[in-house]
Amino acid sequence: MRRAALVLAAAVVLTSAACATGISRDEAIRRALAHAGPTAHVISAEVQTYTGEERNPTPPHLAWIVRLAGNFQMECPAPVAVCPDVHNVEIVLDSYTGEFIVASFF
């Protein structure tokens, strides 16, 4: 029990420190919305450890994970003529610089 509380406290301090030295939650949301478009709305935004995509792993680092809902048109590879709309996107931004890392539609 004591160890779990210590780990939780360390995670809160680490997340707070990341936010204090990097971009704010509001700035992360603003940047994510700029990528997603004007009709998107925020589901959540939180700092998490990001290790890259399965096919392109990266060293662990802190990133803003911003989840948005809306109607998004995906680009489809040929020969698919029309892709279905997707309704959720997860945008990953570097927590310090705000640089766009990746977007995943689901």
Question: What pLDDT, on a 0 to 100 scale, did the predictor assign at position 64?
Answer: 97
SS3 state at 106: coil
Contact yes or no for 28/98 (Cβ under 8 A):
yes
Nearest Cα residue to 63 out of 36, 102, 33, 30 = 102
Contact yes or no for 32/45 (Cβ under 8 A):
yes
Q: Which pLDDT band holds residue 41 (cuts at 50, 70, 90)?
A: very high
pTM equals 0.70
Mean pLDDT check: name the lowest of 2-11, 28-37, 77-86: 2-11
